Structure 1
Amino acid sequence: MSQASSNFTRVGVPGAGKPVYAVGRAARAYVDIQELCKKGNYWATMVQNELVRLTSGKLGHNHVYVKRQTFPGGVETFFLKLPGCEATVKELPGGYYIAHLEVNDDYFALQEKGAKPGMHYAYKKPDSTWAFKFLNKAQLAIKDRIFNLQAGLPNSHSMDAADNALVSIGAPEEEILTAVDLGLAHIKNSPFNDNKVGDYGFNLMYTPGTGDKGKVGGCISLREALNPEYVERLMETSYILADAMQQAEKAGVKVAWVSHEAGSAYLTQAMSIVRSRGLMLSKQTIYLSRPLTNPDKAYNLSQELGMTLNAKLSHNNFNNLNELAAGAGNLWGVTTSIKRLRKDDSYKAFDYCKEVWGSIGSAGNVWKIGVAVTSGVAAYYGGLSAVVTAVGAGAGVTVPFLVDNMRSMAQWPSNQAAIEGMVKPKLEAWIAGFRK
């Protein structure tokens, strides 16, 4: 909907919200976007929706994909960087005008080819090899089912309404099929694995490129890995993810977003974008497999967005130095787990022990049990500040416990069986006492 002349176009519905005008060449570019929208172009619709949001008057620091600058005379200028589109917006009394709008008309076609970030559906062909299809309006036949794909909307692999649609989010990869293989492996190692994934596939947020595999979280610095919300180069993928989250919530689709390695940076930033729009994601959940960014950031955002989490939120392998460094800001999972233990009644005492155990997955077993037990106790005696001391003291406190029970543990067929059958009842009774 617009009022257009040769010099300007009004963005949005006249009389609704603050007036926003595209002027000069920006006006002609905006009209082109509208024409693409009429043809059902998903990318153009996404860009137009974002420009229409300007009418709400909420443009500012709370948008992670916006830069703000004040010029002489007090004129506020905003620089929006969206997928395939860059805009310069200047503030007027009571409204905005778009002074510059640069649009990549080929962006949608590049997404389909995998040359730009986009949402795809990965599936197994009859010959058991994997393939992928860009999420656009189309039908896809997989075994005995027909999938009705929608542009940018995660598709459920299961006919069971209780199951989540699964989305894999990883680091940039040169080949989509490499991202498919990695995504499948991490989904299978997540709490959302089921026997239908291998048969009917999953959604894939693909980012093309070689990645920054030697850098923490795909970021330049450790500081950015600990605070990924505002890393500019992640925004193209993160924005597409945020839009998919919004679409899924509107459509009532339950989604589990499973990130692996540097994918945790995109996931965290996408949730930050959704928060900036004032939306909730009550039908969605997350899991971070070997995250290269601070999991506590993702946890805090998930709570602000109303997500319901699985008992296990993340898993690390600290033989990887990047994971070790990124995990330091979260005390390697302990901080987040204690928050959940204190606030979430469905998160049981032994869930806490297992998650801390799993988060520091490659550390020595004695030290892991020590951290799980002593940090849980410290949280109730002295709050989070006591946890740091507890982590260091963990091994010493629990060595007697393990020595006394070593023979009993050896009777079990595996460490996991011993944990479930012997350690679990003892630790659950011990830590539960501190919840009162």
Structure 2
Amino acid sequence: MSAPISPQLLSHQNTSIIAGDGGGKRIRCTSEYQPRFDSLKQAAGRNHYWALLAIKELNALTTGMLGKNNVYVRPGEREVATGNSKYYVFLPGLKATVVRWANDQFCITKLDLDPSYYKVLSQGEEGTRMGIYRVSKEKLGSTWGIDYAADNKILPRRGRMVSIADASYSTAFDAAQETMPRTVKLMGVGESRVTQSGTDIHFTPGRSKLGGLLRYNPLSVSRARGSAFLLADAMEAAQDVDGVIWSADHGGSVVLTQAMQILIERRGSLKKYTVYFHRPRTSPASALELAHKLDMRLNQRFADTGLSMRGALSQFSIAGKRINNENDPYDKNYHAEAWLNGGLKVAAPAGFLAAMIGGQAGLVVGGIATAIGGAGVVHALGKSAKESFGHYFKR
């Protein structure tokens, strides 16, 4: 890792102008990171979409930092020696550290590239580029084929399914083999349909999974922001395609949730889209609130959190808002059924169910009814409990 650049060295003599020479705020780059910037320009010249996007966004800094949804500032953080404001610009495959000088020019003092970026810049290795891939499956075959979408756009077909993979796969090919069978099964699409029309996958290169117990807030995971920026572009470009399903798998929940946040900052509305989260490694409640703000279509079942207690509680925490949202199909009856069928399995099924059968059902039902509120809840819970666990009482 390179040592920090001394403020005394940040002069016009050891920096060069990379944007704004013809108007707007001048953007400079230190001589240490100029070769990396030049590599970006070369990749953009070869029409690599994310390199083109990176150059475009870095040039856009000539209008300043305000209103940029990929620019993050840590409150109160400045350069120790100079007191200059410090910004972090997240783009696909890279993070730029930018300092604002007293003369209102900006200087890139650090340009961190993801290891996978070097492969693209130098060799163009297939399957390692971040972004959208077409996924297909040969009839009766067991292998999923991939084809990089150079324009980062999904295939504009009604009801198109797009899987957002976790970042723990070396290539998009590996991500497709692991992710697509689960996505197809869970979304009930059917392999025959996929074999006929295919699907898409958004790939994020990385060495480890995104999110987790210590990073449960999806908006705090900084290493996914470049990928989320790219996914937001793909989602925005397809906003006129009806019925697109965006399904996040495991840590893909980070990328999808952050992309939704970016689209809100762009004042977008995605009324024709549906989102779904399979075993999310981050809070589904955060994503659901964003889905409401974007006017997205929702199914009653928004996320499958498996046996995760934290995931179940996250969904439970947002149940009231779902019930009160007239455009959300989630209602008290479904909430009661989902909690009994899903919540009990999460909360130590044997002991918890035994407690219910042993005469504590009234306490459980009362607690849930209080949490949900409103008339008819106890009836709904009682009906669901009878249908779900009635066979236990007949023994």
How much does 1:327 deviate? 3.7
| Separation of aligned partners in 1, 2:387 and 2:15 | 81
Describe the shift of the 1:274–1:67 C-alpha distance in structure 2 as closer, same or farther (beyond 3 A): farther
Q: Identity percentage over the alignment?
A: 22
SS of corresponding position for 2:286: helix
Matched ranges for 1:152-171 at <5 A: 152-156=152-156, 158=157, 161=158, 163-170=159-166
Describe the shift of the 1:37–1:237 C-alpha distance in structure 2 as closer, same or farther (beyond 3 A): closer
Map Cα deviations across residues 277-330 of structure 1 (whole Å, 9 max, x no partner): 444444433101122221101111222333222232112221xxxx223443x1
Matched ranges for 1:255-404 at <5 A: 255-318=244-307, 323-328=308-313, 330=314, 333-349=315-331, 350-356=333-339, 359-360=342-343, 362-363=345-346, 364=349, 375=368, 378-381=371-374, 398=382, 402=386
Count of aligned positions:
359
Question: Which structure 1 segments of 5+ residues have no match?
Answer: 1-5, 138-150, 383-389, 411-436
Describe the shift of the 1:361–1:12 C-alpha distance in structure 2 as closer, same or farther (beyond 3 A): farther
Partners of 1:341 and 1:348 within 8 A in 2: yes
Given the two structures, how large is their TM-score scaled by the length of structure 2?
A: 0.72
Describe the shift of the 1:373–1:115 C-alpha distance in structure 2 as closer, same or farther (beyond 3 A): farther
Matched ranges for 1:96-245 at <5 A: 96-101=106-111, 104=117, 106-107=119-120, 112-115=125-128, 117-126=130-139, 128-137=141-150, 151-156=151-156, 158=157, 161=158, 163-170=159-166, 172-174=168-170, 176-191=172-187, 193-194=189-190, 195-208=192-205, 211-212=208-209, 218-219=211-212, 222-225=213-216, 227-245=217-235
Partners of 1:67 and 1:80 within 8 A in 2: no
SS of corresponding position for 2:261: helix
How much does 1:126 deviate? 4.9
Describe the shift of the 1:54–1:210 C-alpha distance in structure 2 as closer, same or farther (beyond 3 A): closer
| Separation of aligned partners in 1, 2:279 and 2:37 | 42
SS of corresponding position for 2:345: coil
How much does 1:105 deviate? 5.5
Letter in 2 for 1:22: R
Map Cα deviations across residues 389-425 of structure 1 (whole Å, 9 max, x no partner): x9xxx89x74997299948x99xxxxxxxxxxxxxxx
Equivalent in 26, 46, 57 of residue 50 of structure 1: 57
| Separation of aligned partners in 1, 2:287 and 2:152 | 22
Partners of 1:171 and 1:263 within 8 A in 2: yes
Partners of 2:65 and 2:71 within 8 A in 1: no
Letter in 1 for 2:297: T
Residue in structure 1 matched with residue 11 of structure 2 by the alignment: none
Describe the shift of the 1:285–1:9 C-alpha distance in structure 2 as closer, same or farther (beyond 3 A): farther
Map Cα deviations across residues 361-389 of structure 1 (whole Å, 9 max, x no partner): 7355967x99799646643349xxxxxxx
Partners of 2:270 and 2:296 within 8 A in 1: yes
How much does 1:204 deviate? 1.7
Partners of 2:128 and 2:172 within 8 A in 1: no
Map Cα deviations across residues 214-236 of structure 1 (whole Å, 9 max, x no partner): xxx643xx2412x1211233345
Partners of 1:64 and 1:272 within 8 A in 2: no
How much does 1:165 deviate? 3.7
| Separation of aligned partners in 1, 2:386 and 2:173 | 45
How much does 1:239 deviate? 3.6
| Separation of aligned partners in 1, 2:135 and 2:20 | 36
| Most deviating of 281-290 and 373-382 | 373-382
- What is the CA RMSD across the aligned residues, in angstroms? 4.3
Letter in 2 for 1:262: G
Letter in 1 for 2:58: L
Partners of 1:315 and 1:360 within 8 A in 2: no
SS of corresponding position for 2:373: helix
Question: Which structure 2 segments of 5+ residues have no match?
Answer: 1-13
Partners of 1:125 and 1:131 within 8 A in 2: yes
Partners of 1:112 and 1:118 within 8 A in 2: no
Given the two structures, how large is their TM-score scaled by the length of structure 1?
A: 0.66
SS of corresponding position for 2:275: strand
Describe the shift of the 1:66–1:270 C-alpha distance in structure 2 as closer, same or farther (beyond 3 A): farther
Letter in 1 for 2:49: Y
Partners of 1:117 and 1:206 within 8 A in 2: yes
